[in-house]
Structure 1
Amino acid sequence: MKSDNANAMAPEPMPAVSAADLEMAVIGPSPSNNVPVPASTKDLADPFLVTFNGPLDPENPKNWSKGKKWAVTDVLSATGFNRIMVSTIMAPALGTIANEFHMNSAESVMAMSIYLLATAFGPLLLGPLSEVYGRQPVLHASNVWFLVWNVACGFAPNKELLIAARFLAGFGASSIYALAGGVLSDVWRPEERGNSLAMYLLIPILGSAVGPIVGGFMAGRTTWRWMFWSTSIFQAVMVAVSFISFWETYGPVILERSAARLRRETGDERYYTTIGRRDAKKNVGRVVSRAVSRPLRLLIFHPIIQLLGVISAFQYGLLYIVLSTFSELWTKQYGQSVEISGLHYIACALGEIAASVVGGRLMDYMYHYMQRRLGRAEHTPELRVPLSPPRLVPLRLGGAERHLHWAVVDAGVFLALFGSQIQGMPQQAYLMDAYPEHTTSALAATQFLRSLTAFPFPLFAPAMYNSLGYGWGNSLLAFVALAFGVPAPMILWRYGKRLREKASSSY
């Protein structure tokens, strides 16, 4: 029991925080304090519990103004653009870098792919830390870390330092893969998920195409080192912008800061939050270790994470086969210059951009349509599934082997990536809806599989195409993609709810 006496004992321990707890209100001091407080901030049950003050509390990130929501979304989007651009910018210059550092083909591809390997491990640490210390400090720290090591790539005197710096830069860049979904889940409601996710993805998607285009022209007209120097200049600007325009979005951290402020201003140590009370008896090491291990526990014990992780991992691997080999296709198969070969990446970007614009609107429309059709007022993640059809447009570049017109090949890539993005967006939204309290950890778990797949796929792709050609090589990938993509939506629709209910606690 709680006492209003200033010297009373602290309240009894509260149960573990739930999603509903995080939607409640910031509660002010009790009537026994001498601090004047508006009536709306009082709570008769426990005046020292700090939560959100009802469904309209402006401190709740979901109630922020649209301008403030878009500000944090745009900061993440622009940051993601640069980090994804750096992952692909080396593709057209791999031959030049290999000649300068006397690298064989495997080592040159490793210099690009090692960045992706780092993005497998980074989210496992950075995502959970954002659930302990907040999104803001993790974003700022990773921004600076990425900047330092990306600059080091530009000054690398040998292949060993280049590969090492690329790995460390990728580790810093990887936070965006976990933070983005977490922040979007923090500030946007489920019915806004499609539009917010689509708008966020537009700019980073451009990075995957702009990187090889910029890299192609730099490789042909100046030193490859400017690839890293120019992106470092952009990153320095984004560091400054993020310090000004990115606010903390994680509800539990906002509440804990409010409780600390109330304790400081009133001198009363009884103010607390549900999560703060839950972790009060644990030392910092235990709290952090529990958080850091959460993505792997989700991956091991949650079938939903396993299913979506494997599907998205294969899709991601196919994407990086395209990004790593597309330039070579045009230079060797069609005899085009390095600069012109980079322009074909526009087809990749346009396919994903078109899918994001169309898919985002369809996702929100289908969400409301399925609610009306099934008569469900409450939100369930399975409402995302109807927009995640089997991948009906598999990856096909076989026309390149027969030297068909370049527009035919670009059209095939456009359709392939359009289909991949249309399928991938609802899957990401499903995870955000199914794990609202641990979105970053859930996304970190799937990103681990995605990056582990994207790392080796570009390594074996040249050997595969040399043995099978572009026709049979891509047909093989298409058949495997269909084998992965067809059952997944059916399993989620029929068994998703049951699998979520059986999953062990992510705490």
Structure 2
Amino acid sequence: MQGEHFDSDTETEKMSAPSDSSSALSASVPIATTTFDLEKTTSSRPQGSRHEAALDRTITSAYDWTGPDDPDDPLNWSLAKKIYHTVIPGLQAFVVTFGSSVYTPSVPEVAKHFDVSLTVALLPLTVYVLGLGFGPTISAPISESWGRRAVYVWFFLPSLLFTMGAGFSNTFAGLVICRFLAGTVGSGTLAVGAGSNSDLWAPIHRAVASSIFLMAPFLGPALGPAVGGYVAMKMNWRWTQWLILFWGVLAYAITLPQKETYKRIILERRAKKLNVQGPPSLVPPGVNKLRFILVVTIARPLRMLFTESIVAFFSVYTAFNFSVLFGFFAAFPIVFRSPYPEIQIYHFNTGEAGLVFLGIGIGVVLGTLIAIATDRLIYRKKTLKRQAQGDFMPLLPEERLYAAMLGSCLLPIGLFWFAWTSRADVHWIVPVLGTIPFGIGNFLVFCSCILYLIDTYGPLYGASAAAANGLLRYALGAVFPLFTVQMYRAMGVAWATSLFGFVTVALLPIPWVLYKYGPRIRMRSAFTPGK
């Protein structure tokens, strides 16, 4: 290639990674310079000055925390302040993902209103989910340049405005476009929420906050139809968008008083206030900034998805599980509302059919509690035991897989349970109860997967691996509802759901195999720390 040349992997290996970054870009972008700039700054003043010590402290404070008790470090904030800043990404993530599914009970009304087929009427759902997958490629660089708060404030508000546009749409094309844009800009919190938790909590205390945040992308879609069903039945489809807007405005009002938590941005502002040079640029000297961002946020995750076996297999696993959840948005109305003559089972109304998603919601909550308990009883206990013996090395990443191994067994149990009990001669509560182990397993596999990827690839490449996982997860999730109706009508409820179950059985060995052979696989990786 002529002109400027930049190889992301070669260059970043020569640079040290930030220790506190977890967003899609922050955990992947290295610090490009060393203490040379600090030495250059301090050497420019007369030696022996009586202000020398004070100047040293001033300049150093613009490069790093002044010590473990630095009051500007979010780790040292009060418990109430940390909880408040932890709630913000979880609340926004819940509203954004709730917005994906609250629309689904009104699909028949939308189809009739705009004179389109039921499959076409699902497009506002699928493009919204697609936006959730691609949006982080925009929001992650914004987070690096202007901080976490900028994403929560600048991205969430336009999402609400596009939601308002969707509610006022008088054409189907306008509805689809507004929903896609609402999902795209609203997904910013999904990209940087984990980074905020890393800013606020030390690793040994981070599991609870991370589990609660990771719960939002599953709990939101599960509760959406439960609420949207009665809204669509009592009002009309536009009120599903007004409902998103109402909760979104409330979440946005709670967001506004927050402070910045990202270390580099805090230090930059401190340096500006002290009128000294701040932290070095994230972009290596001589490298085009736009190209560097594109490499880090898009090219590297895609490369890891196709070249790293750990990323590929776990991403396919979690993406399929997540897609089945979104496929149920089209399947559950077939089972419980029976709109097609060939499938007559329970004959619920729109509101009642939406309530069956609460089974998955209960499963997600139980999965969160199990994930926290697993961390406390196994991972944290082993860590404290090693530290008591003077060994402060982190545990192997495979210690994160216990929850996934449990979840991998629960997924097919829940799917086969639902498949073969969804019959007119079986009470409706029985298949609904089958969705609980599915919800537990889905969350456990996902939560364990993300922690395993971050522990495996470290702060430098861990977020790129997680970004690859998210991109595939939402891309497949957007597609599944489009063929689920046809599949269930052609195969029937039992065999269509069983097909999903058979796939989860085929994918079940992944966490077990990684637990046994993960260390060998990691040794061959070009992206693990030290390579």
Is the structural similarity TM-score above 0.5?
Answer: yes
Aligned-residue RMSD, C-alpha? 3.3
Between 53-62 and 442-451, the greater mean CA deviation after superposition: 53-62
Between 28-37 and 455-464, the greater mean CA deviation after superposition: 28-37
Secondary structure at 2:170 match in 1: coil
1:121 aligns with one of 131, 134, 143: 134
1:424 aligns with 2:435: no
1:334 aligns with one of 346, 351, 359: 346
Distance 1:53 1:501 in 2: 39
Counterpart in the other structure of 1:253: 265
Displacement of 1:126 after TM fit? 1.9
Distance 1:42 1:497 in 2: 46
Between 439-448 and 344-353, the greater mean CA deviation after superposition: 439-448
Counterpart in the other structure of 1:465: 488
One-letter identity of the residue aligned with 1:328: I
Secondary structure at 1:502 match in 2: coil
1:174 aligns with 2:187: yes
1:382 aligns with 2:387: no
1:288 aligns with 2:293: yes
Taking a change above 3 Å as real, the CA distance of residues 37 and 166 of structure 1, as seen in their structure-2 partners, is farther
Secondary structure at 2:213 match in 1: helix
Taking a change above 3 Å as real, the CA distance of residues 249 and 41 of structure 1, as seen in their structure-2 partners, is farther
Displacement of 1:170 after TM fit? 1.0
Counterpart in the other structure of 1:318: 324
Distance 2:336 2:20 in 1: 56
- Note the alpha carbon deviations across 1:384-441, whole angstroms, 9 max, x for none: 1222205112123221135411111111001111122122211122234444356654
Displacement of 1:382 after TM fit? 2.7
2:314 aligns with one of 305, 308, 313: 308
Distance 2:121 2:157 in 1: 26
Does the CA contact (< 8 Å) of 2:20 and 2:198 recur in 1?
no
Displacement of 1:489 after TM fit? 3.8
1:405 aligns with one of 427, 431, 446: 427
Note the residue ranges of structure 2 that are not aligned, 5 or more in a row. 1-13, 22-30, 339-344
Secondary structure at 2:116 match in 1: coil
- Note the alpha carbon deviations across 1:325-376, whole angstroms, 9 max, x for none: 2233211130111111111111111111111122112223211234367775
Distance 1:185 1:259 in 2: 23
What is the total number of aligned residue pairs between the two structures?
483
* Identity of matched residues, %: 26
Distance 1:331 1:148 in 2: 33
- Note the alpha carbon deviations across 1:295-320, whole angstroms, 9 max, x for none: 33443444433232111111111111
Distance 1:192 1:501 in 2: 31
1:503 aligns with 2:516: no
Secondary structure at 2:256 match in 1: helix
Does the CA contact (< 8 Å) of 1:178 and 1:443 recur in 2?
no
Taking a change above 3 Å as real, the CA distance of residues 166 and 402 of structure 1, as seen in their structure-2 partners, is same
One-letter identity of the residue aligned with 2:233: G
Displacement of 1:278 after TM fit? 5.8
Secondary structure at 2:17 match in 1: coil
Counterpart in the other structure of 1:392: 409
Taking a change above 3 Å as real, the CA distance of residues 445 and 133 of structure 1, as seen in their structure-2 partners, is farther
One-letter identity of the residue aligned with 1:502: S
Does the CA contact (< 8 Å) of 1:193 and 1:429 recur in 2?
no
Does the CA contact (< 8 Å) of 1:129 and 1:288 recur in 2?
no
Does the CA contact (< 8 Å) of 1:307 and 1:488 recur in 2?
no
Does the CA contact (< 8 Å) of 2:322 and 2:442 recur in 1?
no
Taking a change above 3 Å as real, the CA distance of residues 82 and 278 of structure 1, as seen in their structure-2 partners, is closer
1:481 aligns with one of 490, 497, 504: 504
Does the CA contact (< 8 Å) of 1:177 and 1:444 recur in 2?
no
Taking a change above 3 Å as real, the CA distance of residues 58 and 365 of structure 1, as seen in their structure-2 partners, is farther
Distance 1:304 1:57 in 2: 38
Does the CA contact (< 8 Å) of 2:127 and 2:179 recur in 1?
yes
Secondary structure at 1:416 match in 2: helix
One-letter identity of the residue aligned with 1:436: P
Taking a change above 3 Å as real, the CA distance of residues 47 and 473 of structure 1, as seen in their structure-2 partners, is closer
- Note the alpha carbon deviations across 1:47-94, whole angstroms, 9 max, x for none: 587112333333333333322222121011111111111100111111
Counterpart in the other structure of 1:12: none
- Note the alpha carbon deviations across 1:158-199, whole angstroms, 9 max, x for none: 211111111111101222222222222332222223211233
Distance 2:187 2:63 in 1: 33
1:200 aligns with 2:200: no
2:376 aligns with one of 364, 374, 378: 364
Alignment of 1:192-271 (within 5 A): 192-202=205-215, 205-245=218-258, 247-262=259-274, 264=275, 268=276, 271=277
One-letter identity of the residue aligned with 1:361: A
Taking a change above 3 Å as real, the CA distance of residues 205 and 47 of structure 1, as seen in their structure-2 partners, is closer
Secondary structure at 2:423 match in 1: helix
Displacement of 1:157 after TM fit? 0.5
Between 438-447 and 69-78, the greater mean CA deviation after superposition: 438-447
Displacement of 1:234 after TM fit? 2.3
One-letter identity of the residue aligned with 2:331: T
Alignment of 1:37-52 (within 5 A): 42=57, 47=60, 50-52=63-65
